[in-house]
Structure 1
């Protein structure tokens, strides 16, 4: 008696092994049962390819299994998807319940598919749809004994997407598949989604996007020939912007910082500062063009446009600051040169005996110094030559010895009558404005408000103002665009 439980356990184990082996084999049809070929020949011999007889429209149930997805192309605004497309409807003319069949369903040959009626369901918005052939067409048709037809196609579909790149590269895109019966309106054929309309056979990961959501809905549209049922499945993709952070945002940050290096250089280092600014500007322009060449030519402003144009504006601002500094330096140099000329005129002015004399080559301004030697008679009646200088021009020169026109020196005051401005010597044409200024007695003209700025002070202000303004630009930019991305509801 104590061995009964062990015998029972052994019998159960043998029964389980037998049943598992039986599942791996086809059930043998009993005697008198018709083969599948005979059943199909009998059905097709009496079948007419017409709309199935029914009191109401034919109910077609649809579902899709997503096998894989290709990349989403922004230029052509489409994406590729591989699906298993399933249709299920009832056709009483194909029922074989009254025939002696050993199976309740028959897997039909695909060659018979064109001979039976189908709802002609198609994807009306697809750009290209092909049936996989590896090596033969991947189509499966199953006929149930009550006349229900189950068809499955393995399709590769290129479908359009509704691209909106205003938030690029933080954008969210949607792509839609639309199913309709191409030949029958809703009075003849009604389309319905199955309970589980969309099934993902594996996690979908695209190079640039993540599929974050999908949804289905049904609509009824009015056409000239009546109302048509339309089934839609919408796939929502969120862009992975990590690539653009590395390839676009980080390089532009570095370029902007490099453009600020010119503020630390001397204002006189004009070639070096110009090279830094132009190089930064060209780098940003090249980076901007490299990004835009992979995007469609849309007319609205994208988030990347705002960023790149803002960065280019900051680099352009450094060039404007450099031009301002150079202009201030030039104004200050002009003022210093004018002051030097004015000081030189003051130092060269001499109030002496009603005349002003300079060291010259025998010429005083406005007249010439000419030495003549006149012979004079002494007491003995001898004509002795004595050098007597004769000065022509303004003033006179008293000298006992022989004159030396090449070494005339400016004299000191030996007259209480000052010279007039008309008598002042003008050695250069550029000194005439200064003489006119001194003649008028008016103060020197103001050098302008820009001369009061110092180039070093402008650079010190810019090295604080530019980073502060760029920081404010970053705060507004990232808050505006990232907040819209995080607040989106995909349900």
Structure 2
């Protein structure tokens, strides 16, 4: 009894080896059965390549197995796909049920395929279709004893896509394969999808897209020669926008923040603030062009266009704010300069009385303007003042010729009554600029000047207003585009 487990294990091992050998052998045909070659020769000797005889149109069933997908190209608006394309129809002329066949189906040589009738089904919207050859053509033809033909091609297809980039990079794209009999209308050939029309042999993942859905449908189109059946399979792809978040959105956030650094600089740091603004503007422009070069030249506005143009507008706004601050600073400088000139003129008015005090601001144009005082009596005991302006070359003060410039200095007199400018005659053209300056005073500030604003206050307002406006822009942008992406129905 102790050897029973070992005997049982040995019997199971022999049974497994026997079953493996049985599966590895072909079933031997009984005597009197025809070989596959003899059956095919007999069939083809009486076969005519014509539309099969039938009371109704030939029913062709189609299915595809998706083996792999290549990249989806936005520039050329197409995608590449590898499929196993299967067609199934019935041709009674190829039936061999009346012959003593060894098997119920025959795998035909591909060289016989051009000799039998086919519905000539093609992908009418494909840009390029090739049959894989590794090394020979990947075509399989099976003939069943009742005349049913089963053909399978391994194809590489480049098909167009209906691109709509308004939501880029949050867009969803669709690509279509259209099957149609090129030679026969629906009165002769009818196309139908099988129950499992599309089968994915593995999960499909593209570098930029995920295939989220596929669907099939049948349509009947009117051509000049009648109605044609048309089978369509639509693949829906959703873009992976993680790449653009890292390569486009995050850098633009950093560039916008860098452009706000200029608000923290003092208004006098004009070169530094200009450099920051121009560098940010150039960085955004270069980044925008780098993204657009991989997209087709469409005339409508994309989501990426809205984002990049919005960011460029914010950087341009910082440059406008800088120009406004510079204009305010210039206005304030003009007002301060005018105040200084008025203060100088108040301190340099010409007064007349009995005593003379030399000024320290020198002479003008080699001459002098001297107010001479002559006391007179009017009979009432009061002294009247008589002012005699003296200029170079006149008066007893300069009898011996022009005085030296070192001695000709403008003098003022202390008096309660001011000496007016009309009492100062100008005898030389060189004296006129000084008189005009004293007469005119300082010009008033220009009208509409914004000197009441302070540059520091404008910068403090901007450092709050710009981030708030950019935050509002972000909320509206992301809510609008992401909500459309999440609400899409792929059915």
Per the TM alignment, residue 406 of structure 1 is displaced from its structure 2 partner at its CA by 3.0
- RMSD between superposed Cα atoms in Å: 6.5
Contact 1:332 1:451 in 2 (8 A): yes
Per the TM alignment, residue 435 of structure 1 is displaced from its structure 2 partner at its CA by 8.4
Per the TM alignment, residue 395 of structure 1 is displaced from its structure 2 partner at its CA by 9.7
* 3-state secondary structure, aligned to 1:443: coil
Query: How many aligned residue pairs are there?
Result: 491
Deviations 1:446-487 (A, max 9, x none): 664411111111111111111110000000000000000000
* 3-state secondary structure, aligned to 1:197: strand
Say which is worse superposed, 355-364 or 292-301, in terms of deviation: 355-364
Per the TM alignment, residue 210 of structure 1 is displaced from its structure 2 partner at its CA by 0.3
Alpha-carbon separation, structure 2, partners of 1:378 and 1:308? 89
Alpha-carbon separation, structure 2, partners of 1:8 and 1:128? 61
Contact 1:129 1:158 in 2 (8 A): yes
Per the TM alignment, residue 307 of structure 1 is displaced from its structure 2 partner at its CA by 0.4
Alpha-carbon separation, structure 2, partners of 1:402 and 1:297? 84
Per the TM alignment, residue 46 of structure 1 is displaced from its structure 2 partner at its CA by 0.2
Q: CA separation of 1:477/1:386 partners in 2, compared to 1, >3 Å: closer, same or farther?
A: closer
Deviations 1:338-385 (A, max 9, x none): 111111111111311499986489968997579999999999999999
Deviations 1:254-300 (A, max 9, x none): 00000111111111111111111111000000000000000000000
Contact 1:106 1:143 in 2 (8 A): yes
Partner of 1:238: 238
Say which is worse superposed, 147-156 or 380-389, in terms of deviation: 380-389
Per the TM alignment, residue 420 of structure 1 is displaced from its structure 2 partner at its CA by 1.5
TM-score, normalising length: structure 2: 0.86
Contact 2:367 2:408 in 1 (8 A): no
Q: CA separation of 1:308/1:396 partners in 2, compared to 1, >3 Å: closer, same or farther?
A: farther
* 3-state secondary structure, aligned to 1:397: helix
Alpha-carbon separation, structure 2, partners of 1:378 and 1:122? 130
* 3-state secondary structure, aligned to 2:334: helix
Alpha-carbon separation, structure 2, partners of 1:179 and 1:218? 10
Contact 2:185 2:227 in 1 (8 A): yes
Alpha-carbon separation, structure 2, partners of 1:270 and 1:428? 46
Contact 1:366 1:394 in 2 (8 A): no
* 3-state secondary structure, aligned to 1:357: strand
Per the TM alignment, residue 170 of structure 1 is displaced from its structure 2 partner at its CA by 0.3
Q: CA separation of 1:426/1:203 partners in 2, compared to 1, >3 Å: closer, same or farther?
A: farther
Partner of 2:57: 57
* 3-state secondary structure, aligned to 1:412: strand
Deviations 1:419-441 (A, max 9, x none): 11334799999999998899799
TM-score, normalising length: structure 1: 0.86
Alpha-carbon separation, structure 2, partners of 1:335 and 1:384? 42
Q: CA separation of 1:387/1:412 partners in 2, compared to 1, >3 Å: closer, same or farther?
A: closer
Contact 1:355 1:394 in 2 (8 A): no
* 3-state secondary structure, aligned to 2:13: helix
Contact 1:77 1:163 in 2 (8 A): yes
**Unaligned 5+ runs, structure 2:** none
Per the TM alignment, residue 443 of structure 1 is displaced from its structure 2 partner at its CA by 11
Alpha-carbon separation, structure 1, partners of 2:490 and 2:388? 114
Partner of 1:313: 313
Say which is worse superposed, 132-141 or 365-374, in terms of deviation: 365-374
Contact 1:325 1:455 in 2 (8 A): yes
Contact 2:79 2:160 in 1 (8 A): yes
Alpha-carbon separation, structure 2, partners of 1:322 and 1:278? 11
Contact 1:121 1:181 in 2 (8 A): yes
Contact 2:175 2:234 in 1 (8 A): yes
Partner of 2:483: 483
Per the TM alignment, residue 63 of structure 1 is displaced from its structure 2 partner at its CA by 0.2
Q: CA separation of 1:376/1:203 partners in 2, compared to 1, >3 Å: closer, same or farther?
A: closer
Contact 1:47 1:93 in 2 (8 A): yes
* 3-state secondary structure, aligned to 1:468: helix
Partner of 1:427: 427
Q: CA separation of 1:429/1:52 partners in 2, compared to 1, >3 Å: closer, same or farther?
A: farther
Per the TM alignment, residue 417 of structure 1 is displaced from its structure 2 partner at its CA by 3.7
Per the TM alignment, residue 172 of structure 1 is displaced from its structure 2 partner at its CA by 0.3
Contact 2:392 2:403 in 1 (8 A): no
Alpha-carbon separation, structure 2, partners of 1:382 and 1:341? 38
Deviations 1:199-248 (A, max 9, x none): 00001010000000000000001110000000000000000000000100
Contact 1:216 1:231 in 2 (8 A): yes
Deviations 1:76-99 (A, max 9, x none): 000000000000000000000000
Partner of 2:182: 182
Per the TM alignment, residue 5 of structure 1 is displaced from its structure 2 partner at its CA by 13
Alpha-carbon separation, structure 1, partners of 2:120 and 2:459? 74
* 3-state secondary structure, aligned to 1:363: coil
Per the TM alignment, residue 418 of structure 1 is displaced from its structure 2 partner at its CA by 2.2
Alpha-carbon separation, structure 1, partners of 2:90 and 2:385? 151
Contact 2:352 2:371 in 1 (8 A): no
* 3-state secondary structure, aligned to 1:407: coil
Alpha-carbon separation, structure 2, partners of 1:4 and 1:375? 160
Q: CA separation of 1:3/1:375 partners in 2, compared to 1, >3 Å: closer, same or farther?
A: closer
Q: CA separation of 1:159/1:402 partners in 2, compared to 1, >3 Å: closer, same or farther?
A: closer
Contact 1:60 1:191 in 2 (8 A): yes
Is 1:465 aligned with 2:456? no
